[in-house]
Amino acid sequence: MDMKVKGRSVVVLAASKGLGKATAEAYAQEGASVVIASRSREELEQTAEEIRQKTGSRVKAVPCDVNDLESIRALISKAAELHGGIDILVTNAGGPPPGTFDSISDEQWQQSFQQVLLSVTRLVREALPWMRKAEAGRIVMIASSSVKQPIDGLILSNTFRAGLSGLAKSLSQELAAENILVNIVGPGRIGTDRLKQMDTARAERTGTSVEELQNQAQAEIPAGRYGTPDEFAQAVVFLGSGSNTYITGQTLLIDGGLVKAL
C-alpha cells in the first residue's frame, strides 16, 4: 500500500530511540523527509545517520527539549526551513515518573503537566501555520494505553494522558474542515528501553526476577508477547499519512489485546 508520504515533511519528537526512533525510520522507509528531535545531540545524530544509511531518505537531527518553549519554536522553524514546511507532526516525550497519589509531589505534577500535555499544545501551535499553508496536515500523538484504562502505579500518566485525549478530540473537531487530522496512538507494552526500566523497577519492588516478571506480563497480553517498535510505528505512519483521509479524533491502541475496555 502506498502510504502517500513520499517527499512529505515529517517531524518526530523524542526520536533518538524507542517508539519515536522506530516511527521516524518507518516514515523514512516510505520516502518521507524526516526531522528527528530529542535532547541529547550525540545520540540523535547517531540515530539520524543510522536511519539515513538504512533508508536513503533525508533525515535530519535537531535537538529539542519538549519542556522548553524556545526549544520547541526553534525546532519547528528549523524543520520547516530544512524541508520546505511541515506536513506531519508526531508528538512524543519521555514518560512521567511512576508513583501512586501519596508519593507524588507538587513539582512532579507541574513537571508532568508540562512534559505530557503542555508540550503537545505548544508543538501543535507552532506547526499549525505550516499545515494551514499546505492546506493539509496530520498530527499523531503518542500516548499510552492508560488513555483507555488507567495503569496501577502510574497516576501521572493516567491523569495527563486523559487530558491529551480531550485535547486531541477537540482539535480534531476544530481542524477537520481544514483537512488536518488528529489522532492518538496508545502503546500497550512495546519492547523499548522505557519498558525495560519499568519492568526492572517493578521486579525490584515486588522481589521478583525481571525474567519472571516479564513472563507474567507477557502472559497477560492476549497476543502472548510484547509488541515491537516497528509494529507500533506502522500504525503511526498510516494514521499520519496521505492514505488516511477520514480518520480523525480517534485513539488507536497498539497493545496485542491487553486493554479490555470497549
Ligand X SMILES: NC(=O)c1ccc[n+]([C@@H]2O[C@H](COP(=O)([O-])OP(=O)(O)OC[C@H]3O[C@@H](n4cnc5c(N)ncnc54)[C@H](OP(=O)(O)O)[C@@H]3O)[C@@H](O)[C@H]2O)c1
CB of 143 to ligand X, least distance (A): 7
| Cross-strand bridge partners of residue 209 | none
Closer to ligand X by Cβ: residue 82 or 221: 221
Closest approach, Cβ 96 to ligand X, in A, equals 7
Min dist CB 133 to ligand X, Å, is 25
Minimum CB–partner distance for residue 177 and ligand X (Å): 30
Chain-centre distance for alpha carbon 36: 12
b/e burial code for range 85-94 (CB count within 10 A of at least 16 → b): bbbbbbbbbe
d(C-alpha 167, C-alpha 188), whole Å: 21
Could you write out the three-class secondary structure of 165-206?
HHHHHHHHHHHHHHCEEEEEEEECCECCHHHHHHHHHHHHHH
* Comparison of 26 and 175: residue with beta carbon closer to ligand X: 26
Residue 245 CB, nearest approach to ligand X (Å): 26
Q: In this structure, what DSSP letter does residue 227 have?
A: B
Listed in sequence order, the residues at least 6 apart from 115 whose beta carbon sits closer than 8 Å to its beta carbon are 66, 67, 93, 94, 96
* Alpha carbons 66 and 139: distance in angstroms, whole number: 16
Q: Choose between 43 and 231: whose C-beta lies nearer to ligand X.
A: 43
Q: How far is the CB of 71 from ligand X (least distance, A)?
A: 8
CA angle 28, 29, 35 (to 5 degrees): 5
Identity of the residue, 94 or 163, whose beta carbon is nearer to ligand X in the bound complex:
94
| Binding footprint of ligand X on the chain (CB under 6 A) | 14-20, 38-40, 43, 64-67, 92-95, 115, 142, 144, 187, 189-190, 192-195
Residue 120 or 195: the one with the smaller Cβ distance to ligand X is 195
Nearer to ligand X, 142 or 182 (CB): 142
